[in-house]
Amino acid sequence: MIELANAAYSYGGGDILTELNLRLAPGSFHFLTGPSGAGKTTLLRLCYMELLPSAGQVNIFDTDVRSMNRDQVATTRRRIGVVHQDCKFLDHLTLAENIALPLDVSGRDSEAEMGNLNDLLSWVGLAGQANSLPPQLSGGERQRAALARAVIMSPDVIIADEPTGNIDWEMALRLLQLLVELNKMGKTILIATHDLNLIRTAKSQTTTRVLRIHNRRLQLAGADL
Amino acid sequence: MAVFRAISDLLGGDQNAGKVVPPSGYTAQLTTFTAGAMAFLAVFAMALSLATGRLADRWSAELARTATVRISAPAGQMEAQSQAVLKVLETTPGIVSARVLSDQEQRELLAPWFGPDLPIESLPIPRLIEVIETTEGPDIEGLRLRLKGEAPGAVFDDHTRWRRPLIDAAARLRLLAAFSLTLIAVSTGAMITLAANAALSANATVISVLRLVGARDTYIARAFVRRFTLRAFGGAAFGTLIAVIAVWLLPAAADEGAFLTGLGFRGWHWLLPFLIPPFAAFVAFWATRAAAFRTLKGVT
């Protein structure tokens, strides 16, 4: 699904990440860990084409990202649901409108899919908040809403950047439960986190691989946990 | 066809595209005001252009078919030379008629400078003969030679020296008005581009989020293009309407056709100002579209 082959990313003349080799198989569950500033977010951004590799190759759904035009990037992103650390909501739209945004931009009728939207809001426990504006929500509610937006297009891959960074443990477990459910439905999951407790809890529930960024390189870190 | 497809695609009734961009404050008012003001000016430039065109045509037509023979001769020879000139003119091909202006007509011609009671009989004033030509006109050089032989005091004036500067002036005014219309169109495009750029910058986060959730550039551009095109059209329609009313309220043209009172539209020309709002929308469409795609190139 997503494959990095000797990929590297440089900025301002310095290497941020180098010799990245990674293959996310369909239905796999990966954690990406490492200290703050190690480049976890940069790696995720390479995976959803917000950044292009400065060397090596990044293939997404068997297509080299460098060969994609802007329209292809847009349509490929519809197959990847992303939960950003800061959620990236449009504050002038209601929660329901924010969650339905991927449907709107892809030309699907969000009114016709209102039933699915309501089911999704119930699934993330936000059925009563559909008409709230994002600034009116708590951190946990925002993260769950971001997850709802990430999965509304039924993407093949879900990428989450520190989804539990700003929420309490109880809420983090609830969010993890939702991600595990999605994985059991066949979705490929990649989560960047530095929360080792979260990783241990996930490992107890499903098969996961843990990747670690060390010295700008990607390593398999499962044995350390 | 590709142009029309792009226009219908971008203006097509996708309300969601417009909804995702928050209402913009001053850029909306700036666009509407600019389009309105420019449309107002464009109507006047158009009226000026059409009026000068009419004036040039009229001057050209009126002066082209008339000429004057001026006879300056001693009092004893004046009558004989006048008859000789009339005889020459009657036998010249290309001349429809010729007649000597009466003392009263000459007095009226001089009245603006000397007053109505000028004792014209006692003054050595040249005698004037008005000549009406056919469309083709006479052989001017041949006529001048014949007049020189028959009446040495006669000078044939075909009004060329009057006509040419007037027509040149009218043509230049017309050119200036057309240039003004072009400047107005370019300025409108520039102002709308500035306003669109401001709106795009103010909504950089929105654009970034839309790209991340899979929006194509066309979808994002449509939200801005639709908004600016409709604002420009609305503003220009209002400005045009006010200007047309203002032109309509101008004093009616006098019989003498004085230039300033002739500034306005005639007949079907009244429909021309109503081309301005669609044209303003067209300019806004392309200006905003170019600005949007230029901005989107910098967003991944």
Structure confidence by residue, pLDDT tens digits, A108-130: 776 666 677 888 888 888 888 89
Alpha helices for chain B (secondary structure H):
2-11, 15-19, 26-64, 75-90, 103-114, 140-150, 160-202, 204-212, 217-248, 276-296
Q: Which residues pair with B70 in a beta bridge?
A: B128, B155
User: How does DSSP assign B98-163, residue by residue?
Assistant: EEEPPHHHHHHHHHHHH-TT--GGGS-PPEEEEEEE-SS---HHHHHHHHHHH-TTEEEE-SHHHH
The pLDDT value recorded for residue B3 is 58
Q: Flag whether A58 is in a domain.
A: no
Chain A residues whose beta carbon lies within 8 Å of the beta carbon of residue B293: none
Q: Nearest CA to B25 among B198, B188, B206, B189? A: B198
Average pLDDT on A78-101 reads 91
Interface contact A68, partner B, CB < 8 A: no
Quick one: pLDDT band at residue B4, thresholds 50, 70, 90?
Answer: low
Does A149 reach chain B within 8 Å, measured CB to CB?
yes
**What residues 190-219 of chain A have any CB closer than 8 A to a CB of chain B?**
none
A97, closest residue in chain B (CA to CA): B20
Distances (CA, A) of B239 to A98, B51, B188, B245: 38, 20, 13, 10
Residue A136 has pLDDT above 80, yes or no: yes
* Tokens, residue A206: 């499903």
Place B216 in a pLDDT band, splitting at 50, 70 and 90.
very high
Of residues B208, B212, B217, nearest to A77 (C-beta) = B212
Inter-chain touch A149–B213, beta carbons under 8 Å: yes
SS3 content of chain A, % helix, strand, coil (to 5): 40, 25, 35
Contact (CB<8Å) A74/B217: yes
Asked if A53 is an interface residue toward chain B (Cβ–Cβ < 8 A), one would say: no
| Rounded alpha-carbon distances, angstroms, from residue A113 to A186, B8, B202 | 22, 26, 31
Q: What is the pLDDT of residues B137-186, one digit of tens each?
A: 888 888 889 988 888 889 988 877 777 787 788 888 888 888 999 999 99
Q: How confident is the model at residue B273 (pLDDT cuts 50, 70, 90)?
A: very high
Assess contact for A4 and A58: CB atoms under 8 A. yes
Confidence class of residue A161 from pLDDT cuts 50, 70 and 90?
very high
A68 falls in which pLDDT band (50, 70, 90)?
very high
Pairing of strands A2-11, A14-24: antiparallel
What is the structure's pLDDT at A224? 43
CB-based contact, A86 to chain B, within 8 Å? no
Interface with A, mutate which of B14, B206, B209, B213 (most A CBs under 10 A): B213
Q: State mean pLDDT over B247-269.
A: 71
Q: Which distant-in-sequence residues (6+ apart) come within 8 Å of B211 by Cβ? A: A74, A77, B220, B296, B299, B300
* pLDDT computed for residue B299 by the predictor: 84
Interface contact flag, B300 A78, Cβ < 8 Å: no
Q: Residue B252's pLDDT is what?
A: 67
Given the DSSP bridges, would you call strands A2-11 and A55-60 parallel, antiparallel or unpaired? Answer: antiparallel
Chain A residue closest in CA terms to B213 = A102
Say which residues have a Cβ less than 8 Å from residue B225's Cβ, sequence separation at least 6.
Answer: B10, B11, B285, B288, B289, B292
Tell me the residue range of the domain where A140 lies.
91-154
Q: Answer yes or no: is A144 within a domain.
A: yes
Q: Is A101–B209 a contact, with Cβ atoms under 8 angstroms apart?
A: yes
Average pLDDT rounded to a whole number, residues A128-154: 90
Per-residue pLDDT band at B51 (split at 50, 70, 90)? confident
Whole-number pLDDT of residue A57: 93
Q: Cβ B214–A74 below 8 Å, yes or no?
A: yes
Instruction: Choose among A89, A93, A102: nearest Cβ to B214.
Output: A102
Assess if residue A34 is contained within a domain: no
The candidate with the shortest Cα–Cα distance to A146, out of A136, A158, A156, A157, is A158
Q: What is the pLDDT of residue B254?
A: 54
Query: Has residue A101 been placed in a domain?
Result: yes
What is the structure's pLDDT at A72? 93
Closest residue to A90, CB basis, from B20, B214, B216: B20
Residue B234 has pLDDT above 90, yes or no: yes
pLDDT tens, position by position, B176-207: 888 999 999 999 889 988 888 888 888 888 99
How many domains would you assign to chain A?
Answer: 1
Chain B positions touching chain A (beta carbons under 8 Å): 16-17, 19-20, 22, 205-206, 208-217, 219, 296, 300
Average pLDDT of B110-120?
A: 79
Which are the contacts of A65, defined by CB distance < 8 A and separation ≥ 6? A49, A52, A53, A58, A59, A73
pLDDT tens digits for range A6-33: 999 998 888 889 888 999 999 999 999 9
Q: Inter-chain contact B300–A50, Cβ cutoff 8 Å?
A: yes
Is A78 in CB contact (< 8 Å) with chain B? yes
Interface residue of A69, A70, A142 to substitute, partner B, most B CBs within 10 Å: A70
Q: Which of B19, B22, B216 sits opposite A71 (nearest CB)?
A: B216
Range A156-165 average pLDDT: 90
Residue A68 included in any domain: no
In-domain check, residue A22: no
Q: Are B221 and B292 in contact (CB under 8 A)?
A: yes
Of the given ranges (A151-155, A162-166, A182-186, B128-132), which has the lowest mean pLDDT?
Answer: A162-166
**Looking at chain B, which residue has its C-alpha nearest residue A150?**
B213
Closest residue on chain B to A99 (Cα): B213
Do the chains contact at B216 and A74, CB–CB below 8 Å? yes
Q: Using alpha carbons only, how large is chain A's radius of gyration in Å?
A: 17
Nearest to A75 among B212, B214, B296 (CB): B214
Q: Give domain status of residue A146, yes or no.
A: yes
Instruction: Return the structure tokens found at B194.
Output: 């500035």
In a domain, A111, yes or no: yes
Q: From chain B, pick out residues whose CB is under 8 angstroms from the CB of A149.
A: 213
